[in-house]
Amino acid sequence: MFNLKNYRVGGYIFFLSIFLMILSFSARAEVVDEVVAVVNNEVITLSELLRVAQVYFSNANPSRYREVLEKLIDQKLIDQATKDMPTKVTEKEIDAMIKGFKENNKITDDQLKDALQQQGITWGEYRNEIRDGIRRNQVITQTIRSQISVSEKEIKDYYQKHPNDFFESAQVKLEQIFFPVPDQATPEKKKAASQSAEESLKKIKSGEDFQKVAQTLNLPENNTSCDVGMYKKGELMNTIDQEAFTLKPGEISKVISTDKGYCIIRVLERSEEKTKKFEEAHEAISNYLFQQKMEGKLQEWLQELRTNAYIDIKFNQ
Number of domains in the chain: 2
Contact yes or no for 19/97 (Cβ under 8 A) = yes
Amino acid 2: pLDDT? 44
**What are the phi and psi torsion angles at 229 (to 5°)?**
100, 180
**What are the phi and psi torsion angles at 230 (to 5°)?**
-100, 135
165 in a domain, yes or no? Answer: no
**Claim to verify: residue 36 and residue 54 sit in the same structural domain:** yes
**Taken in order 233, 235, 239, 240, is the CA torsion positive or negative?**
negative
8 in a domain, yes or no? Answer: no
Amino acid 155: pLDDT? 97
**Claim to verify: residue 55 and residue 79 sit in the same structural domain:** yes
What's this model's pTM, rounded to 2 decimal places? 0.61
**Claim to verify: residue 89 and residue 124 sit in the same structural domain:** yes
Residue 170's contacts (CB-CB under 8 Å, 6 or more residues apart) are 232, 233, 245, 270, 271, 272, 273
158 in a domain, yes or no? Answer: no
Q: How many CB atoms lie within 10 A of CB 261?
A: 19
162 in a domain, yes or no? Answer: no
What CATH number is associated with residue 263? 3.10.50.40
233 in a domain, yes or no? Answer: yes
What CATH number is associated with residue 65? 1.10.4030.10
**Claim to verify: residue 287 and residue 259 sit in the same structural domain:** no
pLDDT tens series, the chain, 317 aa? 444 433 333 333 444 433 444 433 333 444 457 999 999 999 999 888 887 776 566 555 677 788 889 989 998 999 899 988 888 899 999 999 888 888 877 888 888 888 778 777 788 888 888 888 888 888 888 888 889 999 999 999 999 999 999 998 999 999 888 898 888 888 898 899 899 999 999 999 999 888 888 888 766 655 555 667 788 998 888 889 999 999 999 999 999 998 888 999 999 999 998 999 999 999 999 999 998 998 899 999 999 999 999 999 998 76
199 in a domain, yes or no? Answer: yes
Amino acid 87: pLDDT? 87
User: Which domain range does residue 214 map to?
Assistant: 170-272
**Claim to verify: residue 205 and residue 294 sit in the same structural domain:** no
**Claim to verify: residue 258 and residue 143 sit in the same structural domain:** no
**Claim to verify: residue 235 and residue 295 sit in the same structural domain:** no
